[in-house]
C-alpha cells in the first residue's frame, strides 16, 4: 500500500524519503537574533573569539540584503527556522554507541555496507551535530585530521583559528554571513605536507527535523605536496514545509598539493540549497570540484577556485537535474590571479517536467596572468517543452596573452535517438534513461564507483514518468 504524505508524494517510492521520530536532547527555538547566536556559542562552550566571530557575522547578516540575481529566494521564511538542534549529548565513536533510530537511518543509507567495502573514515552528520565518527588509525599516524568542525575547534583551536573564514569571510555574502553566525558541524580535514590520502574521506549528511536549517561548515587544509579526496553524499527526507541548507566550504590547497571535493546531493524538493564553496590554490596546486545536484527546491551553488600563484589548476565538473517545481542554478567560478594558471569547467544540466536548470559561471583573468588557459563547456538537455535551461557565462579577461574557449550546447532528446534504441527492443523509459545517463557520463565517470551507481539510480528515480 502506498504511504502518502501531505504533499501527496509516495513515500515508499521515494526510497530515501524516510523519517525517524525526533528524539532530541535540546531544541532551539525558531528564528534568529543575537541571543540565539550567543546561546549556540555557549551551548558549544566555545572560546571568546568564535563567539565574537559569530556575533560579528550575525551583525553583517542583518545588514546585508538578500541577493536578487539568480533564483527567487523571496519565499524563504527565515523566522520559521531552527538554527540549532543538538541530537545527542555526545558523539558516538563507534557504530554500537549510536542511538537505535539514527542507526536505522544510516542503515537505510547503507553506511555500514559502504564502510565495509570502501570507507576508511566516516563522519556522518545527523542534524546539526556529527554523531558518528570513525577514523582509521593509520591516518592518525600520518597526522591526518578528519573530524567534525566543532571537535576541531576544541582539539585543534590554533589550526582552526588560523584558517577559519580566510577563504570565505562573513562579509562575502548574506548567506555566508548567516552560516558564519550559526554554523554547526561540517568536516575539518587537515592533510600534512607530502601525505597522500589514498582512500576518499566520506561524510554523509542528513537533515531530519522540520524547518531545521543545516549550516555545516567545512574546512580543508592541504599542506604542500599532499593529496586528498573528500566526498559528501547527501540525501534528505521529505518534509511538508520549507527547509534551508546553507553551508560554507573553505579549502586551502598549498604548493603542489591536490584536493578533489565530490558532492552528490539529493535534497528533498522543499529544500533551499544555498551553498558557498571556495578554494584557494597556490603554486602548482590543483583543486577539483565535482558536484552533482539533484533534488532541492532551489540550488544556488558556484564552487570557486582562486588561483593565486603560478601553475595553479582548477577543474569544476557539475551535473544538475531539475524536475517539477525545481530551479537548479549551479555553476562555477575560476579566478586566474597568477601567470600560467589553468582552468576547466564542464557543466551538464537536465531539465524536465517544468524544471529549470542551467549554468552560471565566471571566468576572471587578471592582468599579468600571462599564459593562462581556461576552457568552459556547458551542455543542457531539455526533456520537454515545459522545461527551461538558462546559461549565464561571464568572462572578465584583463590579460591578452591567454587562451580561452567557451562551448555551450542546448539539446533535446531526439526522437531519432529514442527510435534507434527502441528499434533494438529497449523500452521507451529505459531508452530515455540511457540517453540521459549518457549525457552525464563524462561527470559520472569521475566519481567513485558507489557514487556513480548512486547518481545513476537517483537520475532514474527522477526520470520516473518522463515517458508518456
Q: Are 327 and 301 spatial neighbours (Cβ–Cβ below 8 Å)?
A: no
- 79: contact with another protein by CB under 8 A: no
Rounded to whole angstroms, the Cα distance separating 230 from 160 reads: 18
Rounded to whole angstroms, the Cα distance separating 157 from 191 reads: 16
- 427: contact with another protein by CB under 8 A: yes
- 384: contact with another protein by CB under 8 A: yes
What CA dihedral angle connects 18, 23, 24 and 27, to 10 degrees? 70
Site string for another protein, 442-461 (x = CB under 8 A): x-------------------
**How many other CB atoms are found less than 10 A from the CB of residue 3?**
12
CB of 425 to another protein, least distance (A): 3
Residue 29 to residues 127, 176, 365: CA-CA distances in angstroms?
15, 21, 46
Rounded to whole angstroms, the Cα distance separating 371 from 362 reads: 18
Nearer to another protein, 9 or 422 (CB): 422
Lookup result for grid cell 573514515: 121
Nearer to another protein, 177 or 346 (CB): 346
- 67: contact with another protein by CB under 8 A: no
* C-alpha cell belonging to residue 296: 532541492
Residue 217 to residues 88, 236, 310, 374, 396: CA-CA distances in angstroms?
19, 18, 29, 29, 30
- 468: contact with another protein by CB under 8 A: yes
- 435: contact with another protein by CB under 8 A: yes
Q: Among residue numbers 389 through 418, which ones bind another protein (CB under 8 A)? A: 412, 414-418
- 425: contact with another protein by CB under 8 A: yes
CB of 434 to another protein, least distance (A): 5
Question: Which residue in 135, 437, 456, 461 binds another protein (CB under 8 A)?
Answer: 437
Nearest partner of 214 among 239, 171, 247, 251, judged by Cα: 247
- 321: contact with another protein by CB under 8 A: no
Q: Residue 200 carries which DSSP code?
A: P
* C-alpha cell belonging to residue 203: 561524510
- 440: contact with another protein by CB under 8 A: yes
Question: Which residue in 142, 434, 460, 461 binds another protein (CB under 8 A)?
Answer: 434
Does an H or E element contain 452, and which? helix 449-463
CB of 378 to another protein, least distance (A): 15
Q: What is the CA radius of gyration of the chain?
A: 22
Nearer to another protein, 109 or 434 (CB): 434
- 302: contact with another protein by CB under 8 A: no
Site string for another protein, 354-383 (x = CB under 8 A): -----------------------------x
- 441: contact with another protein by CB under 8 A: yes
Residues β-bridged to residue 286: 258, 313
| Phi–psi pair at 87, nearest 5 degrees | -75, -40
Query: 34-43 and 48-63 are packed helices; what angle lies between their axes, rounded to 10 degrees?
Result: 150
Residue 423 to residues 40, 154, 377, 431, 439: CA-CA distances in angstroms?
61, 63, 32, 10, 20
- 432: contact with another protein by CB under 8 A: yes
Question: Which residue in 14, 84, 239, 439 binds another protein (CB under 8 A)?
Answer: 439
Which region, judged by CB under 8 A, interacts with another protein, from 79-87, 120-128, 318-326, 435-443? 435-443
CB of 268 to another protein, least distance (A): 25
- 290: contact with another protein by CB under 8 A: no
Rounded to whole angstroms, the Cα distance separating 63 from 19 reads: 36
Nearer to another protein, 136 or 437 (CB): 437
Question: Which residue in 431, 452, 455, 459 binds another protein (CB under 8 A)?
Answer: 431
- 154: contact with another protein by CB under 8 A: no
How many residues would you count in the chain?
Answer: 468
Which region, judged by CB under 8 A, interacts with another protein, from 59-67, 128-136, 211-219, 420-428? 420-428
Binding site for another protein (CB under 8 A): 383-385, 412, 414-428, 430-432, 434-435, 437-442, 466-468
Amino acid at each position: 500500500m502506498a504511504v502518502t504524505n501531505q504533499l501527496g508524494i509516495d513515500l515508499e517510492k521515494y526510497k530515501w524519503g524516510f523519517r525517524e521520530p525526533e528524539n532530541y536532547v535540546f531544541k532551539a527555538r525558531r528564528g534568529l537574533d543575537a541571543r540565539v547566536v550567543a546561546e549556540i556559542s555557549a551551548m558549544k562552550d566555545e572560546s571568546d573569539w568564535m563567539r565574537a566571530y559569530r556575533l560579528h557575522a550575525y551583525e553583517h547578516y542583518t545588514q546585508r540584503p538578500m541577493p536578487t540575481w539568480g533564483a527567487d529566494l523571496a519565499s524563504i521564511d527565515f523566522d520559521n527556522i531552527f538554527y540549532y538542534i543538538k541530537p545527542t549529548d555526545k558523539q558516538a565513536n563507534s557504530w554500537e554507541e549510536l542511538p537505535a533510530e539514527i542507526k536505522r537511518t544510516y542503515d537505510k543509507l547503507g553506511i555500514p555496507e559502504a564502510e565495509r567495502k570502501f570507507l576508511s573514515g566516516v563522519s556522518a552528520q545527523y542534524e546539526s551535530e556529527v554523531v558518528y565518527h570513525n577514523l582509521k588509525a593509520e591516518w592518525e599516524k600520518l597526522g591526518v585530521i578528519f573530524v567534525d568542525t566543532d571537535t576541531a575547534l576544541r582539539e585543534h583551536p590554533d589550526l582552526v583559528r588560523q584558517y577559519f573564514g580566510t577563504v570565505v569571510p562573513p562579509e562575502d555574502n548574506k548567506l555566508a554571513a548567516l552560516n558564519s553566525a550559526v554554523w554547526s558541524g561540517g568536516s575539518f580535514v587537515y592533510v600534512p605536507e607530502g601525505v597522500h590520502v589514498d582512500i576518499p574521506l566520506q561524510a554523509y549528511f542528513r537533515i531530519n527535523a522540520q524547518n531545521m536549517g543545516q549550516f555545516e561548515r567545512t574546512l580543508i587544509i592541504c599542506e604542500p605536496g599532499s593529496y586528498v579526496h573528500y566526498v559528501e553524499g547527501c540525501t534528505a527526507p521529505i518534509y511538508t514545509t520549507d527547509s534551508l541548507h546553507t553551508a560554507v566550504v573553505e579549502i586551502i590547497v598549498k604548493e603542489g598539493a591536490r584536493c578533489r571535493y565530490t558532492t552528490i546531493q539529493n535534497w528533498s524538493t522543499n529544500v533551499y540549497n544555498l551553498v558557498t564553496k571556495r578554494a584557494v590554490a597556490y603554486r602548482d596546486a590543483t583543486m577539483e570540484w565535482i558536484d552533482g545536484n539533484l533534488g532541492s527546491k532551489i540550488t544556488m551553488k558556484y564552487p570557486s577556485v582562486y588561483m593565486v600563484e603560478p601553475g595553479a589548476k582548477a577543474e569544476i565538473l557539475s551535473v544538475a537535474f531539475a524536475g517539477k517545481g525545481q530551479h537548479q542554478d549551479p555553476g562555477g567560478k575560476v579566478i586566474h590571479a597568477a601567470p600560467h594558471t589553468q582552468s576547466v569547467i564542464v557543466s551538464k544540466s537536465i531539465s524536465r517536467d517544468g524544471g529549470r536548470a542551467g549554468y552560471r559561471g565566471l571566468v576572471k583573468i587578471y592582468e599579468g596572468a600571462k599564459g593562462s588557459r581556461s576552457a568552459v563547456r556547458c551542455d543542457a538537455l531539455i526533456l520537454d517543452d515545459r522545461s527551461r535551461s538558462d546559461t549565464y557565462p561571464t568572462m572578465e579577461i584583463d590579460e591578452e596573452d591567454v587562451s580561452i574557449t567557451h562551448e555551450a550546447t542546448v539539446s533535446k532528446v531526439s526522437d531519432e535517438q529514442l527510435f534507434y534504441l527502441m528499434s533494438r527492443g529497449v523500452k521507451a523509459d529505459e531508452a530515455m534513461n540511457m540517453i540521459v545517463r549518457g549525457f552525464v557520463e563524462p561527470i559520472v565517470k569521475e566519481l567513485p564507483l558507489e557514487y556513480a551507481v548512486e547518481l545513476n539510480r537517483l537520475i532514474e528515480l527522477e526520470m520516473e514518468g518522463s515517458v508518456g
